[in-house]
Amino acid sequence: MSIWAFTLIAVLFAVGSYLLMERSLTRVALGVGVIGNGVNVLIIASGSDAGEAPIIGREGVLADPLPQALVLTAIVIGFALLTFLMTLAWRNWTITGNDEVEDDVEDRMITRRAEQTAKLGDEPHPEDVQT
Amino acid sequence: MVFFAAVVAHFAVAVLALIGLRRRPVIAACAGLVVLAGTALVVVTQAIGATSAPRKTIEWLPLLGFNFTFQVDGFAVVMALLVSLLGFGVLAYSIAYFEHDATFTRFVGLFMAFAGSMTGLVLAEDLFTMFIFWELTSVWSFLLIGLHDKSEVARRSAVRALLTTGAGGLCMLVGIGLLQNQFGTTSFAQLREAAPTGKMASVAASLLLLGAFTKSAQFPFHFWLPGAMAAPTPVSAYLHSATMVKAGIVLLARTAPIFGDTGVWRWWVVLAGVITMLIGGWRALRETDAKLVLAHSTVSQLGLLTVLFGIGSPYATYAGVAHLVAHAIFKAGLFLGVGVIDHELGTRDVSKIGAARRSVPVSVVAIGACLLSMAGIIPLFGFATKEKALVALLDAEFGLVGSIALWGIVAGSVFSVAYSVRLLHALVRTPNDSASNDEHHAHHEASALVRTTLAAPVVVAAVVSLGFGFAASTVGSWLVSPSSALDVKAVSKLALWPGINDALLISLVVIAIGAVIGWKAPLEDNSAQQPQGERVFDAVYDATIAGAKRITAVIQPGSLPIYVGVTLLLVSIAPLSATFVDGFGSLSGLTSGTALEASVSIIAIVLALGVAVLQSRFTGAMFLGGVGYAIAALFALRGAPDLAVTQLLVETLTIVVFLLALRAMTRITTRPVARFPQITRMFIAATVGIAIPLLALAARDARTAPSASQEYFARSVDEAGGRNVVNVILVDFRGFDTMGEIVVLAIAALGVANLVRAAEQHRRAAISVKEVAGS
């Protein structure tokens, strides 16, 4: 692997991760796109050495075709994912006027419950009898 | 084999009661009575005339050494007889006790399941088998304490009991695992031969003791047992005085010969037993609920048994077996007797139970006899066994530990005389407010049959306590076989009148002091508060739950960016830590690359950084496309023309998709909300950026076999008729993968189409609403 491939992978993953942690779905989609490219470069760079195109009959050292086949599939799937994500972002915008991910209401309620005091066992049930 | 069938029969009746005979619990109970009596019969016939103890091993995981092994030796016989005969009495009693109670069917099922588990436990010949039944009894106990599931007190007590005994069970499992690992066996006999010593044996022994102490309610785990009195009387009488709480004692009895001489054992056992005896005795003197008095007295008596079995001298073991039998009989009688009074008067308050003298005189006399046995008064059986215990400890030569045990038991005996006498006092005293009881009495016009059924087991217990007392020497000879099964030297005898000796003199003093304290002890005591142990347990429990909620609140704040951040961080920690362990050696394998590769890479890097920095959606999409094109060029340079072409096409399409979607949106994205600081995100991103390429390098260097592609090269032309191997792989060798990929695309397309249509409909509806509002 060359120093350039190494650096490129590092930057693509860092930028992609940074964008994934945003609230705007458009930015998240961009992040998915960047990180997808990073993954593809990673598979090619770590899976084989550079060489001639793997076509039988060519002169010289041929590159390994297997990672290429994997990455080719990955590129297409990444496109499908990105398209779906952008449609979600667009839909969100059409309906709510923004493309931001909201906090999960249920999870926020757990946080609030934690602030109340915990009690042994469960809460008394209305049908409970006094003993 | 036949005794194994007897164990299974218990569970069969349990299933029958819980599923088949839900509406006819009495029939199920009768079937249970038959099984219990049959088990007693089977055990006795197996034991009589057998030259060696019958054994049965059922293989489960022979490779791991986990098998079910049962053995009917003398001790197992006496324990199994206690379990089945007391079970018989209590189950018969419960038919009357649960009259008109809808929970009876559940009670019968759980009761039989418990009796089966307990029988299995006492017949077990190895620790692992014992553990399985041990945990089962914990579960049945939990369900039985919480039998009245609509009472909050019952539910809480059930949880306390389960968590305490369950935690002890887990400690025990670890101990068993250590022994299995060290000595390759969990069988009692084989462990005794292995005679474990050393640090590992001490640790294992301590863990087993934790199991025994939690189960038998020894200090500091003594608090759950009085709480378990929330259960109906038959449950308390059977599980929490006569049988289940003896499981810990059984474990002690079985393991004392193995670990008795490891350093920690004797101290642990004696200290826990003595402290428990004293705490239980003290609390029994103060409680005002007769059932709780009995519960604390049980705790106290269990302390005595713990000392006797744990100290490991032959005489003490013999005395322990004898007192175990005596205690099971008188305590079951006492619990059932209090149940009779409760049934009759509707109260168990010690200041009021004197009224029972008029309505159920026979039961009261029987209770009195059981109380005298508990106090250790001649001629009842309790006297003979307690004398034996004192003699055994006077003879034992264990130095300081032995003295602590002896004087601890003497002090404990003062308490047991005192709380017995206090209850006697309560029974003979005429209560002040008999009017309210008469009123209550009218509600309880129980039939003569019911009253007889309720009283019968109490009377039987009293008669047996008395009869065993007079026949002490005969009963003593029966107990030789059980105690010598534990320790071959534990051969001794009991006597009604042992003659005047040190033990008798000590007893006389003990009885005198105890009787005075007990008679003077107030019957009304309002200072009773929640026991210390229970409060500590509740505090720990509440803190655990509150802590769990707080941790959940921190790691699950509901923010998707934070979830993603945590995930990314964890994903990168693994490769990073591996790299730190293995060193950065593979970094030196990096090549400098060609100038062309360098320039294309730099372009891609700059564009990628641009995507992150620029806030404009449109520019971001364009830059992303740029990154894609640069990488396409990189693919072309590396000998991947197919990839390059695909990448070019897909990047173009991606830009189109982005443009279509972005048409509707504003140009600039808003700044992220401040909840997740920018600097943290940068840190996480940098960590991922460092970890992943290192992982890539490591993956590359980890290759040991040649690529699978060699075969594709060899077969491509002949079998698939293609020269471009990448294409052949995609459409031929791995054709199904490509098929799957197409399916994914189709599903994504369907999803996109539906989302777009739904959003359009929503928008149209919103517009028409606005128009209506406008006009």
Using one digit for the tens of pLDDT, what is the confidence trace for B376-412? 888 889 999 998 888 888 887 778 888 888 899 999 9
Residue B454's pLDDT band (cuts 50, 70, 90): confident
- Out of B256-260, B325-329, B390-394, B664-668, give the one with best mean pLDDT: B325-329
Q: Side chain identity at B243, as an amino acid letter?
A: T
Residue-number span of the structural domain to which B734 is assigned: 709-775
Chain A residues lying within 8 Å of B660, measured CB to CB:
86, 90
For B535, nearest residue in chain A (alpha carbons): A120
Of B556, B568, B760, the CB nearest to A110: B556
For B680, nearest residue in chain A (alpha carbons): A18
pLDDT at B435: 46
Provide the domain count of chain B: 2
A45-54, A116-125, B106-115, B417-426 — which is least confidently predicted? Answer: A116-125
Of B564, B593, B639, the CB nearest to A20: B564
Rounded to 10 deg, the angle between the B400-428 and B381-395 helix axes is 160
Residue B432's pLDDT band (cuts 50, 70, 90): low
Q: Taking the mean position of all CA atoms in its chain, how far away is CA B542?
A: 18
Chain B residues lying within 8 Å of A87, measured CB to CB:
661, 751-752, 755-756
Helix (H) or strand (E) holding B386: helix B381-395
Does residue B631 have a pLDDT over 90?
Answer: yes
B658: nearest Cα among A90, A47, A65, A63:
A90
List all residues of chain A from 23 to 82 with a beta carbon under 8 Å from chain B. Answer: 23-24, 26-27, 29-30, 33-34, 37-38, 40-42, 44-48, 50-57, 62-66, 68-69, 71-73, 75-82
Residue B368's pLDDT band (cuts 50, 70, 90): very high
Residue A129's pLDDT band (cuts 50, 70, 90): low
Residue B556's pLDDT band (cuts 50, 70, 90): confident
Does residue B579 have a pLDDT over 80?
Answer: no
Q: Return the sign of the alpha-carbon dihedral for residues B587, B590, B592, B594.
A: negative
Domain boundary among B521, B540, B559: B540
pLDDT at B397: 76
Rounded to 10 deg, the angle between the B74-97 and B448-470 helix axes is 150
Query: Looking at CA atoms only, how far is residue B597 from chain A in angstroms?
Result: 7
Calpha distance B382→B391 (Å, rounded)? 14
Query: Looking at CA atoms only, how far is residue B661 from chain A in angstroms?
Result: 5
Cα–Cα–Cα angle for B389, B394, B400, rounded to 5 degrees: 115
Quick one: average pLDDT of B330-352?
87
Contact B748 A81 (CB under 8 A): yes
Q: Return the sign of the alpha-carbon dihedral for residues B491, B497, B500, B502.
A: positive
Domain boundary among B509, B540, B571: B540
pLDDT at A123: 56
B170 within 8 A of B213, measured Cβ to Cβ: no
Query: Looking at CA atoms only, how far is residue A35 from chain B in angstroms?
Result: 10
Of A24, A44, A114, the CB nearest to B635: A44
Domain boundary among B506, B540, B574: B540
**Bridge-partner residues for B67, per DSSP?**
B59
Residue A7's pLDDT band (cuts 50, 70, 90): very high
pLDDT at B162: 92
B432 within 8 A of B339, measured Cβ to Cβ: no
Contact A91 B664 (CB under 8 A): no
pLDDT digits (tens, 9 = 90+) for B93-152: 888 888 877 888 889 999 999 999 999 999 998 899 999 999 999 999 999 998 888 888
Of A34, A84, A113, the CB nearest to B611: A34
Does residue A124 have a pLDDT over 70?
Answer: no
Of B672, B686, B723, the CB nearest to A23: B672
Domains and CATH numbers, chain A: 3-115 (1.10.287.3510)
Chain A interface test: which of B571, B614, B645, B729 (most A C-beta within 10 Å):
B729
Tokens of B120: 């299995």
B338 within 8 A of B348, measured Cβ to Cβ: yes
Chain A residues lying within 8 Å of B541, measured CB to CB:
120
Query: Looking at CA atoms only, how far is residue A39 from chain B in angstroms?
Result: 9
pLDDT at A59: 84
Residue B561, preceding peptide bond in cis (omega within 30° of 0): no
Does residue B672 have a pLDDT over 60?
Answer: no
- Out of A89-98, A112-121, B207-216, B588-597, give the one with best mean pLDDT: B207-216
Residue B232's pLDDT band (cuts 50, 70, 90): confident
In a domain, B112, yes or no: no
pLDDT at B529: 63
pLDDT at B433: 56
- Out of B197-201, B289-293, B642-646, give the one with best mean pLDDT: B642-646
Contact A115 B751 (CB under 8 A): no
Contact B658 A122 (CB under 8 A): no
**DSSP per-residue codes, A32-86:** HHHHHHHHHHHHHHHH----B-SBTT-SSPBPPHHHHHHHHHHHHHHHHHHHHHH
Contact B156 A90 (CB under 8 A): no
Tokens of B736: 């199904």
pLDDT digits (tens, 9 = 90+) for B49-96: 667 778 888 888 887 777 888 888 888 999 999 999 999 999 998 888
Does residue A120 have a pLDDT over 50?
Answer: no
Contact B546 A117 (CB under 8 A): yes
Quick one: average pLDDT of B419-429?
89
CB atoms within 10 A of CB B297: 27
Buried b (16+ CB within 10 A) or exposed e, B311-342: bbbbbbbbbbbbbbbbbbbbbbbbbbbbbbbb
Does residue A118 have a pLDDT over 70?
Answer: no
Percent of chain B with pLDDT over 90: 32
Contact A91 B756 (CB under 8 A): yes
Query: Looking at CA atoms only, how far is residue A40 from chain B in angstroms?
Result: 9
Calpha distance B487→B482 (Å, rounded)? 9
For A71, nearest residue in chain B (alpha carbons): B643
Residue B685's pLDDT band (cuts 50, 70, 90): very high
Contact B673 A53 (CB under 8 A): no
Helix (H) or strand (E) holding B66: strand B66-71
Of A15, A55, A131, the CB nearest to B154: A131
**Bridge-partner residues for B126, per DSSP?**
B187
pLDDT at B743: 95
Query: Looking at CA atoms only, how far is residue A96 from chain B in angstroms?
Result: 10
Contact B542 A106 (CB under 8 A): no
Does residue B221 have a pLDDT over 90?
Answer: no
In a domain, B50, yes or no: no
pLDDT at B182: 85
Whether A101 and chain B come into contact, CB under 8 Å, resolves to yes
For B731, nearest residue in chain A (alpha carbons): A69
Of A26, A45, A48, the CB nearest to B669: A26
Calpha distance B422→B293 (Å, rounded)? 10
Whether A96 and chain B come into contact, CB under 8 Å, resolves to no
In a domain, B520, yes or no: yes
pLDDT digits (tens, 9 = 90+) for B485-502: 888 887 888 888 877 888
Residue A121's pLDDT band (cuts 50, 70, 90): very low
Cα–Cα–Cα angle for B456, B460, B464, rounded to 5 degrees: 175
Calpha distance B520→B522 (Å, rounded)? 6
- Out of B301-305, B354-358, B579-583, give the one with best mean pLDDT: B301-305
Average pLDDT, chain B: 86
